[in-house]
Amino acid sequence: MAFGPRPIGSENHKKLENYILAHLKGDQVEDDAFTADTVEGKFPIRNIIAKYPGTKDGVIVIVGHYDTNYPLLKSGYVGANDGGSSTAILLEYANHLRGKKRDGYSVWLVWSDGEEAVREWTDTDSLYGTRHLADKWEKDGTLKKIKGLLVMDMIGDADLNIDRDTNSTPWLVDLVYEAAERSGAQSHFYARTGGISDDHLPFVKRGVPCVDVIDLDYGYNNVFHHTPQDTLDKLSPKSIEIVGNTTLEALRLLDRR
């Protein structure tokens, strides 16, 4: 967040890319970089993928976007929760996965880019990075290897309440709840139900089992979402810990399926 607003095409976004890559130094890292043709012109998009090998044949993918909202560029919007929390939790997953071979599926962490709309959220003005990546992975056969894909988004809210997303794969939604139960965190999951548009949709449409781990009610009546009030004082390390521990347990449950 100290870099300031980090929308696609900005200098601060580039600084964050370099920050992520520096954290992943020594890990197996790949890029999915391309130029997106948007309603506001052409923008560079860069998905950053870190791969951690396992003993089983197959991959679990965890996705979180690192860009901040482009239309709010001039507002001073720093996106503590929306963009910041998902970036941070993937960096911490890298710390947990680094340097040891998993006794289970390989895990790929994807810092997705261009999740936010450039003008106004539509099917074509959003999810630039994951739409490109899903298409690429469909063409090269990677999608067939994915046993589960989990999206992290807005998971730092101090008043944590993860939505049950009806666009996600039901059995994987249930598996995440089981993982939350195992650590006694189930009270933070699934009090609300609804269909959510997020980075999982391009993969859902291609038949990949997906779950969106998101708390889409940020502040009373979602008052902080996509506003300059999305700042660090609204977040809690405890919330990120709950989501992190639940996700790591979900990986173990997926390994045993």
> What is the predicted pLDDT for the residue at 129?
98
> What is the predicted pLDDT for the residue at 104?
98
3-state secondary structure the chain: CCCCCCCCCCHHHHHHHHHHHHHCCCCEEEEEEEEEEECCEEEEEEEEEEEECEEEEEEEEEEEECCCCCCCHHHCCCCHHHHHHHHHHHHHHHHHHCCCCEEEEEEEEEEECCCCCCCCCCCCCCCHHHHHHHHHHHHHCHHHHEEEEEEEECCCECCCCEEEECCCCHHHHHHHHHHHHHCCCHHHEEEEEECCCCCCHHHHCCCCCEEEEECCCCCHHHCCCCCCCCCHHHECHHHHHHHHHHHHHHHHHHHHC
Fold that domain 11-256 belongs to in CATH? Aminopeptidase (3.40.630)
**Ranges of the chain whose pLDDT falls below 50:** none
> What is the predicted pLDDT for the residue at 53?
97
pLDDT digits (tens, 9 = 90+) for 169-201: 999 999 999 999 998 999 999 999 999 999 999
The residue ranges of every structural domain in the chain are 11-256
- Global pTM exceeds 0.95: yes
> What is the predicted pLDDT for the residue at 211?
98
> What is the predicted pLDDT for the residue at 230?
98
> What is the predicted pLDDT for the residue at 98?
97
